[in-house]
Amino acid sequence: MKFLETLKALPPSRQLILAAAVAGIIAAMTFLVQGATRDPMTLLYSGLEPAHAGDIIKQLEQSGTPYEIKGEAIFVPQGKRDAIRFNLAQQGLPRPSVQGYELLDQVNGFSVTSEMYNAAYWRAKEGELTRTILAIPGVTSARVHIGANLRSGFARSQPHQTASVTLTTARDMTSGQAEAIQYMVALAVAGLNAEDVAVIDPVKGILAGPKANRTEEPAVAAATQASLLEQKILSLLEPRVGMGNARVSATVDVSRQRQRTSAVTFDPNSRVIRNRTTNDTSGSSGGAGGGMTVASNLPQGNTGGGGTSTNKNSTETVSYEINETRTEVETLPGEIQKISIAVLLNEQALGIDPAAADAATRQQQMAADFEKLVASAAGLDMARGDTISVELMPFQAVPADDLVQAPGLFEQLMERYFWSGLQALLLGLVVIVLGVGVVRPMLVQKPKEALSPEGLGAGAGAAGAAGAVAAADVEADPFAYLKDYASERQEETAALLQQWLTEDQQPGQADPIAAAFDTRKVAVNE
């Protein structure tokens, strides 16, 4: 009640100032409490098309859910994210950016021709394949084009079926992944061969398909093999020399050409009769003699006769079988041609005293031992041309000034919460200043000497009254103060007036309160 009475006693101007100060304090406190208890924002969806993102934002506004938009991402309170996603999914949001077989639902009717249905079918097929490709980790965008088979029913030959896939990836795609996309598209379209599907990246070129550039693939494989080889050798050396006391560099040279070689070898010592054929022929011939010979002049008179001849011919044919060896060798890109390894060890970590007499011998022996160990672990083939080099040298110590100390827990907290804490501190100071410097002086009146019968005793009644009036004169309007004082403390005022009437005023001493009342009376009469 005293607070309300004090508030009513204030002038209207001060009441307005007090109300504004209290409203400011309440607003600042509300801001502080909201900032401290506010649920952090988390990602809801990102990378949506503008039309689909607009549908989600419209639904969030209708449900009264707070949200923030940062670029192409939509953020919502973390505690409500899962519930918001379920509600949006119940309403079919976000709608898929690529349409698939649902396109066929729009072509039902008597007005749909076969060409219209075929076009919708191939669009749906492309959309379904695009959805599947977008589900692959690392693929940010994709589009599938199928060379539709639109041959006429009267045509005898069927056109060649082709397809292409255009995609962009967040990281490099391997040849195996590109070939997997080829086979997926080929198996989804009847009559399409995997070799006729081209996988294209607008930045990296043709990843798979006709005229695919595979020159970089062996280089990537060589770099991977070299990295694995370095890690393997380091894991073998560090238990002996310690962490950070060994450096390994490996280089793997691989073949980047595809070569096929065919050879046929015959063994002449492995001759075997395969076939033997013998052909015998014989014949005889004879005739009458009409010519003059010696026999015709003999006395026996044998003047006429004939001659007979017999011919024999024998032919043998032998076929032999010889062992034949056919060899066909195909060299594929990526075959290792040469491995070079260089190992640098910290001499100080090996425990060798440079001042010792046999220091050089021990270093050479230790380097040879490490060389054998590394060559065996890496599987080097010196006949192929592999090389290895092991050197023992002291490592240079890193100056302490160049070392950067990792930030501690306090520094991490300061870096993460400094600005938010500073903002809360400034707002707290504003609230304290408003409360102590504005509100409190208005609610607490300035100390005045009490005008009560106890304060004004029998021996000092007039002096107490004079002191009270002197303190009241400090106010801008003493009459208003006397009026307020009389209205608030009516009993004390009546007792004070009664005491003034009963006491005798000393001669030569003016009563300031009476003078004040007289002055007020004169002012009223005028």
pLDDT of residue 474: 41
Name the phi and psi angles at 33, rounded to 5: -65, -40
Alpha carbons 61 and 67: distance in angstroms, whole number = 9
pLDDT of residue 2: 65
The residue behind tokens 């009963």 is 502
Name the phi and psi angles at 76, rounded to 5: -135, 165
Other CB atoms within a 10 A radius of the CB of residue 51 amount to: 9
Tens of pLDDT, residue by residue over 148-190, are: 666 655 666 666 788 999 998 888 787 788 889 999 999 988 8
Tens of pLDDT, residue by residue over 283-295, are: 776 555 555 565 5
The residue behind tokens 């100056």 is 399
- Cα–Cα–Cα angle for 305, 306, 312, nearest 5°? 155
Q: What is the DSSP string of 215-277?
A: SHHHHHHHHHHHHHHHHHHHHHHHHHH-TTSEEEEEEEEE----EEEEEEEEEEEEEEEEEEE
Predicted confidence (pLDDT) at residue 449 exceeds the cutoff of 60: no
| Domain 101-149+160-210 sits in CATH 3.30.465.10 | no
Strands 41-46 and 68-70: unpaired
Residue 458 belongs to what H/E stretch?
A: none
Mean pLDDT score, 271-291: 71
pLDDT of residue 393: 86
Q: Whose CA is closest to 173, among 196, 142, 146, 147?
A: 142
Alpha carbons 66 and 48: distance in angstroms, whole number = 19
Please give the mean pLDDT across all residues of the chain: 75
Q: How confident is the model at residue 387 (pLDDT cuts 50, 70, 90)?
A: very high
Alpha carbons 160 and 168: distance in angstroms, whole number = 27
Looking at per-residue pLDDT, the higher value among 247 and 435 belongs to: 247
CATH 3.30.300.30 intervals, the chain: 101-149+160-210, 223-257+334-393
Tens of pLDDT, residue by residue over 429-448, are: 777 776 776 666 665 554 44
Q: What is the DSSP string of 9-73?
A: HS-HHHHHHHHHHHHHHHHHHHHHHHHHHPPPEEEEEES--HHHHHHHHHHHHHHT---EEETTE
Alpha carbons 365 and 44: distance in angstroms, whole number = 64
Token representation of residue 469: 């009036």
Beta bridge partners of 259: 331
pLDDT of residue 214: 57
Strands 336-346 and 387-393: parallel
Q: How confident is the model at residue 520 (pLDDT cuts 50, 70, 90)?
A: very low
The residue behind tokens 């015959």 is 266
Strand, coil or helix: what is 101? helix
Asked if 180 and 135 count as a contact pair (C-beta separation under 8 A), the reply is: no
What's the Cα-to-Cα distance from 337 to each of 147, 224, 285, 334, rounded to whole Å? 42, 15, 79, 9
Q: Please tell me the CATH code under which domain 223-257+334-393 is placed.
A: 3.30.300.30
Whether the bond into 94 is cis, omega within 30 of 0? yes
Radius of gyration (C-alpha) of the chain in whole angstroms: 57
